[in-house]
Copies of this chain bind each other. A is one copy, B any other.
């Protein structure tokens, strides 16, 4: 290992999807924040890159050691600390995943709703500003992290809202918590996160509904939100995605734009939510309703959505997948989805679409043969066109996956050079030797 930032990982093309393996030189498994701090001090002294590692479920290559260095695997710090039932908060160490937390909370009547799909670690979800299907109702990690314990590049330990603090709101100084949320390991190692919890809803109802067009599905979504229905999930699948799900799970949904819905609340409030939503979707020519109330039927209904990634992969056995992640204002969704589907057809690409339509965020699951360089290039060009299409419509190149390795050039286009300079200034202040997860984000 040599001095900082001297070994760029030369095998990495710009904007790649399948980072060739970039292993670190060393992996450490600290068991406490004191050990993390002591190890960081050693790295700092010797100018070694530090790569934080939670579960490795991120989608943008955030854990690749592109400049070598020391991987900090935080899985051995896995305690759930301080559940405060009356205050709706909990503090967890970085080895705790969202499923482990919710299982731990089972008897408290509380849960943590942010659900990016993978069973990611909660500190990793904070680091990447994760969200997922429940964000339309419960917000993203940005809205649900109350405090972080962070080890900076030089080993300094800070608490972003002050040690042990967990108020539901604060105006005390700069919002350091949300500076580290979404910083993708480039500003510090998150060793503890304090999260907001929610009461487990009394009841849930799920539904699936088919539409004649993307526009009709999006119009329904806007009207449901406008009507004040506190919908918990509202997910869009395009015809190609539904077709893939049908094949993968032997289902028979109509091959058309489809919404998967979920409602949380009391029995009475669900009744009303369902009535209003049904009325709105019918007015927009929604049809072939499927409703599910008990847990088992709900599970079966949503299985199609949950398995979307695997259903897409199964379209072309032996292929690999990369997910795009643009997000636009709701009113621009029909246009961008229609144009994107035309682009896919024109360029002979497999990219079924699934999206968190209530947030304006959707994914094309690009299935491709990683050994077919021509196809990989076409996917890369498509991905950049899609991102620029989103940027032209007031959108972002990443709604929830982060910038990682592949979207740095797009981030510059999105933010403008002056805002990038501000970000670089913040990075240089907190990590002047550029040791924290180098090569990512900026």
Contact = CB atoms under 8 A, between A and B. Distances in A.
Stoichiometry, copies per complex? 2
Given A179-B178, A414-B165, A265 B228 contact: yes
Interface stretch (A6-14, A291-299, A328-336, A366-374): A328-336
B415 A327 contact: no
B159 A399 contact: no
A277 B88 CA distance: 19
B168 A359 contact: yes
Contact of A327 (B158, B170, B187, B266): B170
Contacts of A142: 169, 175, 178
Interface string A402-442: 11000100010011101110110111111000000000011
Interface stretch (A38-46, A48-56, A219-227): A219-227
Interface stretch (A242-250, A342-350, A375-383, A390-398): A390-398
Given A228-B199, A425-B429, A328 B167 contact: yes
A182 B175 CA distance: 7
B172 A415 contact: yes
Interface residues of A, number: 97
A117 interface: no
Contacts of A266: 228, 272, 276
A160 B396 CA distance: 13
A212 interface: no
A258 B88 CA distance: 23
A131 interface: yes
A143 interface: yes
Contacts of A325: 171
Interface string A305-337: 000000000000000000001011111000000
A409 to B, nearest CB: 12
A176 interface: yes
Nearest to A109: B226
Interface in A176-198: 176, 178-179, 181-183, 187, 198
Most buried by B among A139, A182, A394: A394
A400 B169 contact: yes
Contact of A143 (B84, B139, B187, B415): B139
Contacts of A135: 169
Contacts of A429: 425-426, 428-429
A389 interface: no
A268 B229 CA distance: 12
A423 B272 contact: no
Contact of A442 (B165, B173, B397): B173
A225 B196 CA distance: 13
A399 to B, nearest CB: 5
A129 to B, nearest CB: 5
A157 interface: yes
Contact of A171 (B268, B401, B418): B401
Nearest to A402: B171
B329 A403 contact: no
A73 B87 CA distance: 41
B176 A331 contact: no
Most buried by B among A165, A227, A428: A165
A163 B417 CA distance: 11
Interface in A78-118: 84, 86-89, 109
Contacts of A425: 429-430
A430 B330 CA distance: 34
A128 interface: yes
Contacts of A156: 418
